[in-house]
Amino acid sequence: MKALRLRTWKSDPVLEELPVPEPGADEVLVQVGGAGACHSDLHLMHEFEPGALPWSPPFTLGHENAGWVHTLGAGVTGLEPGQPVAVVGAWGCGVCAHCLAGVETYCERPDLAPVPSGGGGLGLDGGMAEYLLVPGARHLVPLPEGLDPATAAPLTDAGLTPYHAVRRSLAKLTPGATALVVGVGGLGHLAIQILRALSAARVIAVDPRSSALRLATESGADAALTPGPATAAEVRELTHGVGADVVLDFVGSDETLALGAQAVRQLGDLTVVGLGGGTLPFSFFGVPYECSVQTTYWGNRTELVEVLDLAARGHLTVHAATFPLSQSAEAYARLARGEIDGRAVVVPSRAYRP
């Protein structure tokens, strides 16, 4: 089979030929129908040094995946060949307190996993391939009726990550509240839709690209702003001088973190999701009184079930550009050049093949 591989840190991925994996006990082989190209993969390819993570290349890219159950390993029950499924991306040890609570994103004992990794496409082989080996049925969610794998794949991260972030601040997103979404890319445009689906809060979006601002408006934003020296003041003007109750920063640069700190309301939440590498100077008077500054990482299986349900019922629509597997490296190149609005999705298979 063909697979897009990261051979070494600080390199571009290469399409290679690999044998089709065979599932062992408790494993499931998935025929990949969709794999999202995530901006965080660009950081993974070009910014990490050897030894920075407990795992390293070579591995197949692609950590947001969906497809069809192809082959079941010994002991796997509850799934059938041909069944469409989404893949839960974070694969923890399965035995620590967090994993047992269903939040494998925050696994505390990766050393207990058979192979230390962050999941498929994060140390272990991911979904930018014709087939993906998944270590356990607990990492698979059957797709709701009417949702195909190519559509579902980006929801496993680009939908799940903002959903988790919004849910964390949901108590503050009351009618009359305001949410500020900074960065309207693959995650940001879905964050706007999630805010619309879960709350009655006003939504303001910020992005330097005119195409992204159009996407923000199409996704349901009440206002779309271009970043600049006056942006925080514009946010406060739109919120009658008080600022945003919740700021969701999907960029994470010095500039966007500074904007968030200037625009957030007292008692508000400033949530950093993006991996832009920025820092926020923190002091007593550096942010409004009792503002909570927090990070989030991905989401859990239960939340993914809810995200897929929202999409199946028409509340979430992924704005996506699709690429065949043969053009998967080009998908990342276009993403790096800022030429993708929404999400880039690689589609290795259009239909299930027994």
What is the C-alpha to C-alpha distance for residues 64 and 147, in angstroms, rounded to an integer? 15
Contacts 24+ apart (CB under 8 A), 143-146: 143/66, 143/84, 143/85, 143/86, 143/308, 143/312, 144/308, 144/309, 144/311, 144/312, 145/312, 146/312
| DSSP run (H or E) holding 244 | strand 244-249
Pair of tokens at residue 287: 């942010």
Question: 32-75: per-residue pLDDT in tens?
Answer: 999 999 999 999 999 888 888 888 999 999 999 999 999 999 99
Q: Which residues pair with 224 in a beta bridge?
A: 205
Q: How confident is residue 333, by pLDDT bands cut at 50, 70 and 90?
A: very high
- Domain positions in the chain are 2-157+299-347, 160-295
User: What pLDDT shows up at residue 118?
Assistant: 86
Residue 252 has pLDDT above 80, yes or no: yes
Question: 261-279: per-residue pLDDT in tens?
Answer: 999 999 999 999 999 999 9
Is this prediction's pTM over 0.85? yes
Pair of tokens at residue 104: 């494998």
Pair of tokens at residue 11: 């390199």
What is the C-alpha to C-alpha distance for residues 165 and 168, in angstroms, rounded to an integer? 5
What is the C-alpha to C-alpha distance for residues 51 and 331, in angstroms, rounded to an integer? 27
Q: How confident is residue 117, by pLDDT bands cut at 50, 70 and 90?
A: confident
The dotted CATH code for 160-295 is 3.40.50.720
* Superfamily designation of domain 2-157+299-347: Medium-chain alcohol dehydrogenases, catalytic domain (3.90.180.10)
Average pLDDT over residues 176-194: 97
